[in-house]
Homo-oligomer: A and B are copies of this chain.
């Protein structure tokens, strides 16, 4: 339409030099009229370099995950990478769908997955994967973990120090075996010689405030003698506080509540939530770093280098 070769179009569109201003204007005008837009595929084919990473998040309504995502976004942007986000809603089937798509559309995938390594590998078709919150030992993929054991240790030490012996847990992980947090809880409880076993752990119907309320109701019914609770995460812990409150229990005097996450939400509730704070942004940033290593063919960070260590933040609830 502008009567020039496609090469000249390219020069006009890409703002290269080596083109007559008049020609350029003519080309751009034609482009406007024709509503022409360069194909990103053809471009990508010819200019390498656009890296896209897929991010699979289980639950955008839990403030924990947006913060992890923010870390991923931040680190990705620094590298000039793009991030495609998928919400898996903690559904294994949806996780697989996400991989089916992302393995074709992304150069690497980062995220939370409940599916087995084998299942993941099959859908991945060779695309590098970095698992979030899975200990580096527990997968064959790249991983960034949380030092749950260390966190639980601090948390339980704190409760025991405050005189608690009858401590329950509100679990949030519905998987085959016991999840990492529940295991760590039971280990610590044993180490302190408390008369506490599996029956002191209640599985909440969901990882939310409502789920925590329901779980706490049940725990208080089954173990009314409980004086301290550890929540699987902050949302659940806040739920426990509400349930306790509704029962007329004072916090922390009648029931001490400990969270696990360090959401800013915890500072706003009454009383403020004592919690094991996790640097979520760092988690996300580390994940991107792992992707970079994988892509470069290097060994991913492992052990404590790829760990985020929870830090006990004592507030009023425990």
A residues at B contact (CB < 8 Å)? 31-32, 35-45, 50, 52, 60-61, 63, 65-67, 69-70, 73-74, 77, 82-87, 101, 104-106, 125-127, 209, 238, 242, 264-265, 268-270
Contacts and interface: CB of A to CB of B under 8 A. Distances in A.
B61 A85 contact: no
B83 A85 contact: yes
Nearest to A87: B73
A230 to B, nearest CB: 19
A63 B101 CA distance: 27
A31 B69 CA distance: 32
B45 A60 contact: no
Nearest to A73: B87
A106 B39 CA distance: 10
Given A125-B37, A268-B209, A86 B104 contact: no
18 contacts: A37-B127, A40-B41, A40-B44, A40-B106, A41-B42, A41-B43, A43-B104, A60-B66, A61-B66, A61-B67, A63-B66, A70-B87, A82-B84, A82-B101, A83-B84, A83-B85, A265-B268, A269-B269
A61 B70 contact: yes
Contacts of A209: 264, 268
Contacts of A86: 73, 77
Contacts of A269: 268-270
A31 B125 CA distance: 10
B87 A85 contact: no
A118 B270 CA distance: 47
Contacts of A40: 41, 44, 52, 104-106
A36 B105 CA distance: 15
Contacts of A105: 40, 50, 82
